[in-house]
Amino acid sequence: MRILIAVVLLMPLTAPLYAEPLSFDAALDRAARHAPELQGSEAGVAAAQSAAIAADRLPDPKLDLAVKDFPVTGPDAGRLNRDNFTMQVVGISQEFINPAKRRARAARAQADIGIAQADQALEIQNVALGTALAWIDLHYAKRRLSQLDLLDESLDDLQSTVTARLASRSARPAQALEPAQLRAAIADRRSALAAEVARARATLVRFTGDPLADVQGEPPPSTIDGDKLKAGLASLPRLRAFDAQIVAADAETQLARADKRPDWTVSGAYGRREPNYGDLVTLGVTVDLPLFPKRRQEPKIAARASEASRARFARMAVEREIVAALSSDLADHRMHHQQLDNARKTLVPLARQRAQLDLDSYAAGNLDLGTALLSTLALVEAEVDALAREADVARDAIRIQFTYGDTQP
């Protein structure tokens, strides 16, 4: 009951805070704390660390309980301790793994920790990238939607002008339908943008765990230092994952080589016989005999060494792929910057001038309403397209920074 009361009292305090719009940094922080992918990768690291504790330990000793030489035929059949052969034996044995194999197992366990940590770094990168792109998509989709709303409001004034001209019989009756047609075209664009907003918000909800996720504030700067990114490629989580796999392959090779060294087992037993006869003690050592290494151990060593070479070549190929991808992405980023500058400095100003000139011509009776409305729609299209180009630049910057650099721009 006390717990229930505490939960009820705390709900009004926590719920509003949880539903506040998120800045860019706040969304990343929320995702880092609530994304189940990161919690799962953290559990994977903990599992590898726990397994490493026992990796190089000796096996548990074995307890041997037996009745030996029990007669099943003859005069003493079925009778315990009636002859000098039957014994009740209690023994213990301990296997000793050769030190080279134990060291190799420890190295393999540490490699597993490295693989788990590299996987965790990849998950952190993927979650941060997905959250950042969802925030950018939602931010710009809402801005483009707001741009359409402004045009819809401006059509009210235009509709009043058309109505006045119809009343004065200076416009054709069919022209009264043209603002409604423009509103229908805007409604189609609004539906598409509303779907983009919904998709981006759904992705942001997925990563942050906030069912009412929304955005506020401005996106981060879109500047990229290409030289710095190229200099730090070796520390990328993807390459670190390959490095961990190389370490694991080398540990497997060491483990295969260690099989050429024998393991041994030490055992001791105490045998209790019939009181008329003396008890017996047995001590022994069992040693593995790797007598045919060319057909047993050496093929395994060669296979593990080939796997290690394959891992190194795979890492080299991925590094070249990343270098090429970074150069390509930087080229796209420069292209999108140029397209954005062209839209801001040329396309939008020209569309605005044309729309104003056409509206002035329509007001003066020198142009039909349909042409003036098309110019107005072209202006909105240019402004929305400029926002889309700005979103492309922002997405490029986020994707490049979070893929090839730190998770904070």
What are 218-241's pLDDT values in tens digits?
A: 999 888 888 889 888 888 989 999
Helix and strand numbers (H, E) in the chain are 10, 4
Indicate the number of domains in the chain.
Answer: 2
* 193 and 242 together in one domain: yes
Q: Give pLDDT tens digits for 254-313.
A: 989 988 888 899 999 998 887 778 888 999 999 988 888 888 888 999 999 999 999 999
Choose among 399, 406, 409: nearest CA to 130.
399
Assess if residue 1 is contained within a domain: no
* 114 and 239 together in one domain: yes
DSSP state of 327: H
What's the average model confidence in pLDDT over 59-84?
79
Q: Give pLDDT tens digits for 206-222.
A: 999 888 889 999 999 88
* 219 and 351 together in one domain: yes
Residue 20 backbone phi and psi in degrees, to 5? -70, 145
Quote the domain boundaries for residue 367.
Answer: 28-54+97-259+296-404
Tokens of 165: 């001209």
Tokens of 251: 């540990």
* 120 and 211 together in one domain: yes
* 226 and 316 together in one domain: yes
Q: Which one has a higher pLDDT value, 108 or 162?
A: 108
What CATH number should be reported for the domain holding residue 45?
Answer: 1.20.1600.10
Measure the CA–CA gap between 23 and 132, rounded to whole angstroms. Answer: 10
Residue 175 binned pLDDT confidence (cut-offs 50, 70, 90) = low
Measure the CA–CA gap between 336 and 327, rounded to whole angstroms. Answer: 14
330 touches 282 (CB < 8 A): no
Measure the CA–CA gap between 197 and 265, rounded to whole angstroms. Answer: 68
Torsion over CA of 337, 340, 345 and 349, rounded to 10 degrees?
180
* 179 and 196 together in one domain: yes
* 72 and 175 together in one domain: no
State which of 274, 293, 312 marks the end of a domain.
293
* 175 and 42 together in one domain: yes
* Residue 6 pLDDT > 50: no
Tokens of 373: 């409305």
DSSP state of 235: G
Of 40-44, 153-157, 246-250, 316-320, the poorest mean pLDDT is in 153-157
Choose among 224, 210, 201: nearest CA to 136.
201
DSSP 246-262: HHHHHHHHHHHHHTTSP
What pLDDT is attached to residue 190? 83
pLDDT above 70 covers a percentage of the chain that reads 85
Choose among 275, 196, 224: nearest CA to 405.
224
* Residue 327 pLDDT > 90: yes
DSSP 341-383: HHIIIIIHHHHHHHHHHHHHHHHTTSS-HHHHHHHHHHHHHHH
* 116 and 196 together in one domain: yes
Q: Which one has a higher pLDDT value, 194 or 177?
A: 194
Half-sphere exposure of 366 (CA within 13 A, CB side): 6
385 touches 347 (CB < 8 A): yes
Supply the mean pLDDT for the chain.
83
Long-range contacts of 368-377 (CB under 8 A, 24+ apart): 368/175, 369/162, 369/171, 369/175, 369/178, 370/175, 370/178, 373/158, 373/178, 373/179, 373/181, 373/182, 375/351, 376/151, 376/154, 376/158, 376/182, 377/151, 377/182, 377/185, 377/186
pTM of the prediction? 0.76
44-79 b/e (C-beta count within 10 Å ≥ 16 → b)? bbeebeeebeebbeeeeeeeeeeeeebeeeeebeee
* 195 and 302 together in one domain: yes
* 270 and 388 together in one domain: no
* Residue 132 pLDDT > 90: yes
Half-sphere exposure of 277 (CA within 13 A, CB side): 14
Of 71-75, 168-172, 284-288, 307-311, the poorest mean pLDDT is in 168-172
